[in-house]
């Protein structure tokens, strides 16, 4: 199987390197990922007049690595259009060292990169995990072993023109895996504000956290099952259309 790997943490991040080392044992693997961290980049593409700089690295045996000084979506779009000789059979985005659960998927570069692949009609999977030390490859060992073992199952159950969002808890229970919906929640976008001596205001966005009420656990969505030690699978579709709202709007009798 031809597999394209990308992420938002950078092309040399231990998560993507561990994944590449494991998957290249039985598959043709290529990494095209950002040169530097692009956390929270969402589905952004570089569309101004700044050119993207792509560079090939020879670090791993049997794995081509391309760095791109752009977003995760830039990486996937450029890879599919120019960098890859053949269209991949599967795109895997991750491993993100923070769980992409609930509404965090909307700002996640990992999920968005997978979505970019899905737009092109390629089966795409987004992987994220709660790990103890994101800077060590061994923190991802249990995850990459699982992915390699269950790759055919995951690829087969990835929706057409959609993404399979896979989250791994901090402590996995043996053989516990469940298909669940996203948890409804609110992104807590908190900023740190400072004013310099000349009166200019500067703002830094802190790491967004999910603010969940007690009812979040009653939803029995991905947050609940991750807390129980389950691996969660959530199929996501590209079509954001709200059918009932469209019908109500069509029946409203719009007049100009």
Domains and CATH numbers, the chain: 2-181+213-247 (3.40.1210.10)
- The model carries a pTM of 0.92
- Lowest pLDDT segment from 25-29, 44-48, 50-54, 252-256: 252-256
The CA-based diameter of the chain, rounded to the nearest angstrom, is: 64
Residue-wise pLDDT tens digits, 81-136: 999 999 999 999 999 999 998 888 999 999 999 999 999 999 999 999 999 899 99
Which residues 6+ apart lie within 8 Å of 146 measured at CB?
Answer: 168, 172, 231
pLDDT at 157 over 80: yes
Q: Quick check: 56 and 65 in contact, CB under 8 A?
A: yes
Q: Which two tokens stand for residue 48?
A: 């101004």
Q: Quick check: 164 and 111 in contact, CB under 8 A?
A: no
List residues bridging with 88 in a β-sheet: none
pLDDT at 214 over 70: no
Q: Which two tokens stand for residue 52?
A: 């993207």
Helices 14-23 and 141-149 meet at what angle, rounded to 10? Answer: 40
pLDDT at residue 256 in the model: 58
Whole-angstrom distance, CA of residue 35 vs CA of residue 148: 25
Give the highest mean pLDDT range of 73-82, 186-195, 208-217: 73-82
Strands 54-60 and 63-68 turn out to be antiparallel
pLDDT at 234 over 90: yes
Helix locations, the chain, DSSP H: 14-23, 72-78, 109-119, 141-149, 151-156, 215-218, 222-227, 243-250
Per the rule left: phi > 0, alpha: psi between -120 and 50, beta: everything else, 221 is beta
């Amino acid at each position: 199987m031809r597999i394209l790997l990308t992420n938002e943490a950078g092309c040399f991040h231990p998560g993507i390197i561990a994944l590449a080392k494991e998957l290249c044992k039985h598959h043709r693997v290529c990494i095209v990922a950002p040169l530097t961290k692009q956390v929270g980049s969402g589905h952004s593409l570089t569309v101004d007049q700044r050119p993207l700089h792509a560079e090939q690295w020879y670090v791993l045996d049997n794995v081509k690595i391309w760095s791109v000084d752009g977003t995760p979506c830039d990486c996937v779009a450029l890879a599919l259009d120019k960098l890859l000789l053949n269209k991949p059979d599967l795109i895997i985005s991750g491993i993100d060292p923070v769980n992409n659960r609930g509404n965090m998927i909307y700002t996640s570069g990992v999920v968005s990169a997978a979505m970019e692949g899905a737009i092109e009609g390629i089966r795409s999977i987004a992987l994220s995990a709660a790990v103890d030390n994101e800077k060590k490859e061994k923190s991802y060992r249990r995850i990459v072993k699982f992915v390699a073992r269950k790759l055919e199952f995951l690829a087969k159950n990835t929706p057409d023109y959609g993404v399979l969002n896979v989250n791994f808890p901090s402590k996995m229970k043996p053989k516990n895996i469940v298909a669940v919906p996203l948890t409804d929640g609110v992104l807590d976008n908190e900023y740190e504000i400072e004013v310099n001596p000349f009166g200019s205001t500067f703002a830094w966005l802190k790491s967004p956290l999910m603010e969940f009420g007690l009812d979040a656990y009653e939803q029995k969505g991905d947050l609940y099952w991750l807390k129980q030690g389950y691996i969660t699978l959530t199929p996501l579709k590209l079509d954001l259309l709200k059918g009932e709202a469209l019908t109500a709007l069509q029946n409203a009798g719009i007049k100009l």
